[in-house]
Amino acid sequence: MRSQLNFEELKASGNLPSPAGVAMTLFQLTQKPDVSLAEIARIVQADPALSGKLIKYANHIKAGSRLVASIPDALNLLGMAATRQIALGFSVLNSNRRGACKQFDYMRFWSRSLACAIIAQMICEKTRVAQPEECFIGALLSDVGSLALATLYPAAYSEILSKELAGKEKIELERSSFATDHLELTSALLQDWMLPELFSNVALYMENPDSMPFAEKSREFRLCKVWNFASRFADGFVSGERRIASKMPEFLVEAREFGFDQDEFAFLCDQAAASWQKWSAILDVPSRPVPSFEELMASIPAEEPRVGLLTGRSLRILLFAEEGEIAGFLSSLGHAVINVKSEQEASRLVLEADPQVVLYSYSMHGIAFVEALRKLPAGQSIYAIMLLDDEDLQGEVDAFEAGADDCITLSRGLELLAARLLAAGRFVEMKESLSKDTEELRSMASDLAVANRRAREASMTDPLSGLPNRRYAVERLALEWNRPGELACMMIDVDRFKMINDRHGHDVGDKVIRHCAEVLKKAARGQDVICRFGGEEFLAILPGANMEAAEHCAERLRTAVESSLFSEGNAPIKITASIGVSVRYPSMGGFPDLVKAADVALYSAKQAGRNVVRIAQRPE
């Protein structure tokens, strides 16, 4: 794996998820300051499928009886920025429905992302932490970095996914494997696609809001909470009723923080489920039946804790025992309880439900279960309590040897269980505090790594043209030289540039450099790299190009510069360029010989009258 991987190099690979067709045209067009909605409407109408989706989306968010029936009406309702973002989101979805990463479930990814987008939008409609229609697209793409890793590195990422890691363990493995992770990639892609900066900032922390550096009442802080909640709730949509039911007490507490009472939250959930199924059909992604949330919440015990019993923090408890009255007792203490009947089901829910405490019965093969639990990465830090029916000294010894943290004899009364759960709660709090401190250190290290990466990118970028600079060109040439296959380069010189500076001034000369940089970048192939080498000289690196392909590309670049229009005030300025081309030969000692050959060919082009392409002679 390359140690100096960065986002620009990943973009240059051409394999990152990206908008296509009309969406890309919109993406480019809306960057112009004087573009009108009428121009946008003409572009959108060229794509009937996108037109239909935009009209349906406009009607989805519109309140009132009159339906939106035309693209101009939809654009007037949505606005230019939202239209571009929606087109971008739908295009990325449509272009990445399948891929080569075997362990990455592409359709489940989009089904979950769609549910996340709908839930986040509905919460934003109440909290107004962000524009709801913008929040929809931001949340839809809030995990696009995972899709990017599956697209860039299908085999290596499939191997990572097969380990079924989550959270910090998964991120650490991604960083060690790819020199980046899915959160950083998501943030970089959202920024590259010109979504609000708010979204790219939040994407870095949405999976672990406790580590975010934002002020508590800032928009970033509140949106991070919304996206994290929507993401976890969307997991329930795609995983099924059991997952939702197990987390519902926790979701209800968080929903109150967003301003929803229980009835309002039930209504929002039912509306979100209906919208998810409707939009799944429109976008051709899978969905599944979702239970009535009103009925689901009505089944949640509302009984107050029993008088006289000790109560602490609410815990997520996995109960592997004959239910009896234990589950009801735990619920009465305010704990969220999942009751299971088999060892296989218990092991599966340890991974899915993320319990903080496990209560398991000695009589139900409890020793084998806790031994298996401690072998799971996710089970090593769960507080495990063995339940004994009667006093049994050997049973307690066996339990502790197998990995139990505590043992309780049920015949001594449930009040003892309540007291022991206080100790479990303190353990959970200490573990979470330690995890938070560790995550903050990791976050600081990550921020430092990002800052270092950005500083490196700045040191590799020419500030005038925005192109990679000479230092980058040298490092990239060294990298490409060590790869097998064909390689070519070009030296490109703006003709009579000194005359332009002398006649029009250095400010105009700077504009000419920026103009030529943009023209060359647009005319080059996707895999080619255009760098500013110094002064009015540019260097192009062409991986995989033989002499014929390089000459053809050089002629295209020369023609593009010659035919480009540039004017200062009302006076047009004619710009041309001379180009020298060289390709790698076995007799060359290194990439400096490749550059020198191109430079000699450039001198020949200047001698031939300028505005021509010359090919370097094959070395003896």
351 and 276 within one domain: no
Do 326 and 359 contact (CB within 8 A), yes or no?
yes
Helix, strand, or coil (residue 615): strand
DSSP classification of residue 404: -
pLDDT over threshold 50, residue 303? no
237 and 181 within one domain: yes
Locate the DSSP E strands across 535-591. 537-543, 567-568, 571-572, 577-583
Higher-scoring residue by pLDDT: 510, 348: 510
- Distances from the Cα of 271 to the Cα of 66, 89, 99, 265, 553, angstroms: 21, 22, 32, 10, 54
Q: Which two tokens stand for residue 604?
A: 């020949």
Do 578 and 606 contact (CB within 8 A), yes or no?
yes
Structural domain includes residue 589: yes
Rg, the chain, Cα only: 30
Of 73, 95, 117, the last residue of a domain is 95
Could you tell me which of 132, 294, 324 has the C-alpha nearest to residue 337? 324
Domains held by the chain: number: 4
Amino acid at 610: R
What CA–CA distance (Å, rounded) separates 71 from 381?
Answer: 55
CATH code assigned at 402:
3.40.50.2300
Structural domain includes residue 445: no
* Strands ordered across the beta sheet of 406-409: 336-340, 316-320, 357-361, 383-388, 406-409
What CA–CA distance (Å, rounded) separates 497 from 502?
Answer: 9
What CA–CA distance (Å, rounded) separates 327 from 185?
Answer: 43
Structural domain includes residue 481: yes
Q: What pLDDT, on a 0 to 100 scale, did the predictor assign at position 135? A: 85
Q: What pLDDT, on a 0 to 100 scale, did the predictor assign at position 530? A: 95
Higher-scoring residue by pLDDT: 506, 64: 506
Q: In which band, very low, low, confident or very high, does the pLDDT at 46 lie, cut at 50, 70 and 90? A: low
Which of 164-173, 576-585, 607-616 is predicted least confidently? 164-173
Separation of first and last alpha carbons in the chain: 36
Higher-scoring residue by pLDDT: 5, 132: 132
Most confident of the following: 14-28, 125-139, 322-336, 537-551: 537-551
Do 598 and 618 contact (CB within 8 A), yes or no?
no
Could you tell me which of 355, 527, 497 has the C-alpha nearest to residue 428? 355
Which of 18-27, 304-313, 419-428, 510-519 is predicted least confidently? 304-313
Q: In terms of residue numbers, what domain contains 373?
A: 316-429
pLDDT over threshold 90, residue 452? no
- Distances from the Cα of 614 to the Cα of 530, 558, 605, angstroms: 18, 11, 5
152 and 239 within one domain: yes
287 and 182 within one domain: yes
Q: What pLDDT, on a 0 to 100 scale, did the predictor assign at position 117? A: 87
Give the mean model confidence (pLDDT) for residues 452-470: 85
Of 48, 66, 95, the last residue of a domain is 95
Q: What is the mean pLDDT of the chain?
A: 81
Q: Which two tokens stand for residue 416?
A: 């003892």
280 and 261 within one domain: yes
Do 564 and 575 contact (CB within 8 A), yes or no?
yes
Could you tell me which of 496, 494, 497, 581 has the C-alpha nearest to residue 540? 581
pLDDT over threshold 60, residue 612? yes
Tokens 């899978």 correspond to what residue?
286
Q: Where are the alpha helices (DSSP H) in 484-546?
A: 497-504, 506-523
pLDDT over threshold 50, residue 507? yes
- Which distant-in-sequence residues (6+ apart) come within 8 Å of 345 by Cβ? none
- The H helix count followed by the E strand count for the chain is 27, 12
136 and 155 within one domain: yes
Q: In which band, very low, low, confident or very high, does the pLDDT at 364 lie, cut at 50, 70 and 90? A: low
What CA–CA distance (Å, rounded) separates 248 from 237?
Answer: 12
pLDDT tens-digit series, residues 124-159 = 888 888 888 778 878 888 998 898 898 888 899 999
Q: In which band, very low, low, confident or very high, does the pLDDT at 169 lie, cut at 50, 70 and 90? A: confident
422 and 280 within one domain: no
- Torsion-angle region of 218 (φ positive above 0: left; ψ -120 to 50: alpha; else: beta): beta
Q: What pLDDT, on a 0 to 100 scale, did the predictor assign at position 480? A: 93
Q: What pLDDT, on a 0 to 100 scale, did the predictor assign at position 538? A: 97
117 and 34 within one domain: no
Task: Please compute, for residue 175, the number of CA atoms within 13 A of its CA located in the half-sphere on the CB side.
Answer: 14
Structural domain includes residue 68: yes
CATH code assigned at 224:
1.10.3210.10
Does pTM surpass 0.85?
no
510 and 533 within one domain: yes
Structural domain includes residue 460: no
pLDDT over threshold 80, residue 235? yes
pLDDT over threshold 50, residue 112? yes
534 and 521 within one domain: yes
What CA–CA distance (Å, rounded) separates 569 from 567?
Answer: 6
Amino acid at 558: R
pLDDT over threshold 90, residue 600? yes
108 and 59 within one domain: no
Structural domain includes residue 12: no
Handedness of CA 468, 472, 474, 478 (dihedral sign): negative
271 and 182 within one domain: yes
Q: What pLDDT, on a 0 to 100 scale, did the predictor assign at position 307? A: 38
What CA–CA distance (Å, rounded) separates 361 from 321?
Answer: 5
Q: Where are the alpha helices (DSSP H) in 96-218?
A: 106-127, 132-140, 144-152, 154-162, 167-178, 182-192, 197-203
Of 238, 265, 295, the last residue of a domain is 295
Tokens 């799971």 correspond to what residue?
376
Q: What pLDDT, on a 0 to 100 scale, did the predictor assign at position 619? A: 80
Q: What pLDDT, on a 0 to 100 scale, did the predictor assign at position 323? A: 59
**Largest Cα–Cα distance of the chain, in whole Å?**
102
- Of the chain, the percentage scoring pLDDT greater than 90 comes to 24
Q: What pLDDT, on a 0 to 100 scale, did the predictor assign at position 359? A: 85
Do 527 and 14 contact (CB within 8 A), yes or no?
yes
Q: What pLDDT, on a 0 to 100 scale, did the predictor assign at position 499? A: 92
Backbone angles phi, psi at 487, to 5 degrees: -150, 135
CATH code assigned at 601:
3.30.70.270
The 3-state secondary structure of 231-288 reads HHHHHHHHHCHHHHHHHHHHHHHHHHHCCCCHHHHHHHHHHHHHHHHHHHHHHCCCCC
Could you tell me which of 487, 477, 459 has the C-alpha nearest to residue 539? 477
Structural domain includes residue 459: no
Q: In which band, very low, low, confident or very high, does the pLDDT at 1 lie, cut at 50, 70 and 90? A: very low
Structural domain includes residue 441: no
Most confident of the following: 76-90, 155-169, 478-492: 478-492
